[in-house]
């Protein structure tokens, strides 16, 4: 059974959450509560500032990627990305005084912990192909659709942990919250980030090819003037950390609680998009205690309806705030992964690791979804953690527990099957 501390904190957590959900429901009827631009964090949320220093082995930065909405991402770059492929030929790649095509100094190759050097990235065309490419993980936080954020203290800690354990670049998605933005806003935001990642890869490649077309001495042919106007414009849009270090052909989706529902939606949209997403390829997804529900209750939904932290009545309130009133149904495709006609066919889904907790009333439906994936030969294991509760690996007070640490290690072991580059000197 969970500890006494967890039980007491759960009582306080549910009391506070119920109060906030009821306030949101009361305000959701007000037309002024609708906000197309949206919000990605609440005033009561404790947030962690971005830190471009590798003080704990991971540097972070925030990017607002959509001028029409509040959609943003926080990039988590592990220090291992700075290790060149061939140390013997890497001289000058990370030169302190080198000026990149992005218009700033590149910084040193391996900033020490506590160093004052801010890592800004450098031009792909000037790196000589020696930069180390890492896979990319899109991470979607939890919070029952109405709370949580990609820059919260807890989410920042979790994403740093995943970046180091998996040796991967993490993009934590700051999607729009309900009720200001109901379904499908959060889902569309998730897929928009995946498309943005593809655009970044294409812009970086364009910038690299344009940079290589310059003649010796920096001269530019008259016929190339227009190309370099495009090049300069493209360079201003390229995110240097991703341009230099990201390999979008090895993309993993990871969702926490309701974020797992978003991850599953993004995976399905990626299948439907096919080659239109090139060079982005979703190679695997991780669903951590997904926020699934349905009109016909499962065994765990009956026996554990009043479980820790997120009980069934409060989750239904959250769904009422997320789904448009005219679409509300516990068998909505966003809520129930097992409803008929939910495309594309499951056999096309990527390998899917599902994390469930013993004392989570939503566990049975997540397990059932995993079973359906395995029936069509998708690699879809389930890891169940004993004496664990919903969000046992991502909730602020539980992040440093042995179970949370073990869960991160288990995810890394499984994910590396699909993101490793076997046969190369920098393979995992």
Active site (annotated) includes residue 360:
yes
Q: Are 366 and 335 in contact (CB under 8 A)?
A: no
CA 98, CA 95: separation in Å to the nearest integer?
A: 5
Per DSSP, the three-state class of 314 is: helix
CA 380 to chain CA centroid, nearest Å: 20
State the CB neighbour count (10 A cutoff) for residue 35: 14
Q: Which among 127, 257, 300, 307 is annotated as catalytic?
A: 257
Token pair 């037309």 in the structure block, residue? 31
Cite the DSSP H helix spans in 61-219: 153-166, 185-211
* Residues 6 or more apart in contact with residue 130 via CB below 8 angstroms: 84, 85, 86, 89, 90, 93
CA 70 to chain CA centroid, nearest Å: 16
> How far is residue 335 from each of residues 145, 258, 331, measured CA to CA in Å?
12, 9, 6
Q: Which among 141, 165, 245, 390 is annotated as catalytic?
A: 390
- The continuous run of DSSP H or E covering 402 comes out as helix 402-419
Upstream peptide bond of 184 is cis (omega within 30 degrees of 0): yes
Active site (annotated) includes residue 245:
no
Q: Which among 167, 247, 264, 360 is annotated as catalytic?
A: 360
CA 110 to chain CA centroid, nearest Å: 25
Structure token digits, residue 239 = 């995110």
Structure token digits, residue 236 = 């201003």
58-64 and 246-256 beta bridge pairing: unpaired
- The continuous run of DSSP H or E covering 384 comes out as strand 382-389
Active site (annotated) includes residue 126:
no
CA 420 to chain CA centroid, nearest Å: 19
State the CB neighbour count (10 A cutoff) for residue 206: 16
CA 142, CA 392: separation in Å to the nearest integer?
A: 12
The catalytic residue positions are: 257, 360, 390
């Amino acid at each position: 059974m969970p500890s006494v501390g967890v039980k007491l904190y759960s009582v306080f957590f549910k009391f506070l959450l119920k109060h906030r959900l009821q306030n949101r429901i009361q305000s959701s009827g007000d037309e002024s509560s609708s906000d197309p631009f949206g919000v990605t964090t609440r005033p009561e949320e404790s947030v962690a500032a971005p830190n471009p220093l590798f003080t704990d082995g991971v540097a972070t930065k925030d990017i607002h990627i959509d001028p029409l909405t509040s959609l943003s991402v926080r990039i988590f770059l592990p220090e291992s990305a700075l290790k060149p492929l061939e140390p013997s030929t890497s001289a000058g790649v990370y030169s302190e005084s080198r000026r990149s095509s992005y218009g700033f100094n590149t910084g040193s190759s391996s900033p020490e912990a506590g160093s004052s050097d801010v890592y800004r990235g450098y031009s792909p065309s000037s790196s000589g192909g020696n930069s180390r490419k890492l896979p990319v993980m899109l991470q979607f936080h939890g919070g029952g659709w109405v709370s949580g954020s990609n820059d919260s203290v807890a989410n920042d800690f979790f994403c740093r942990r995943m970046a180091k354990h998996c040796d991967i670049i993490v993009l934590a998605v700051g999607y729009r919250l309900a009720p200001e933005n109901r379904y499908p806003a959060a889902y569309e935001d998730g897929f928009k980030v995946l498309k943005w990642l593809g655009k970044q890869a294409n812009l970086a490649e364009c910038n690299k090819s344009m940079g290589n077309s310059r003649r010796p001495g920096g001269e530019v042919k008259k016929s190339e003037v227009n190309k370099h106007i495009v090049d300069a414009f493209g360079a201003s849009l390229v995110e240097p950390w991703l341009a230099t270090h990201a390999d979008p052909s090895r993309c993993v989706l990871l969702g926490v609680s309701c974020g797992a529902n978003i991850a599953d939606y993004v995976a399905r949209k990626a299948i439907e998009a096919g080659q239109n997403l090139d060079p982005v390829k979703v190679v695997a997804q991780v669903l951590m205690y997904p926020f699934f529900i349905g009109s016909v209750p499962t065994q765990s939904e009956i026996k554990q309806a009043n479980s820790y932290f997120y009980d069934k009545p409060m989750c239904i309130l959250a769904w009422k705030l997320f789904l448009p009133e005219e679409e509300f149904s516990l068998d909505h495709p966003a809520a129930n992964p097992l409803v008929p006609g939910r495309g594309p066919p499951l056999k096309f889904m990527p390998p899917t690791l599902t994390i469930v907790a013993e004392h989570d009333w939503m566990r049975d439906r997540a397990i059932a979804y995993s079973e359906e994936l395995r029936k069509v030969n998708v690699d879809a294991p389930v890891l169940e953690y004993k004496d664990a509760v919903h969000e046992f690996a991502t909730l602020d007070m539980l992040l440093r527990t042995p179970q949370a640490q073990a869960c991160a290690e288990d995810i890394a072991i499984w994910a590396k099957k699909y993101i490793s580059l076997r046969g190369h000197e920098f393979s995992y």
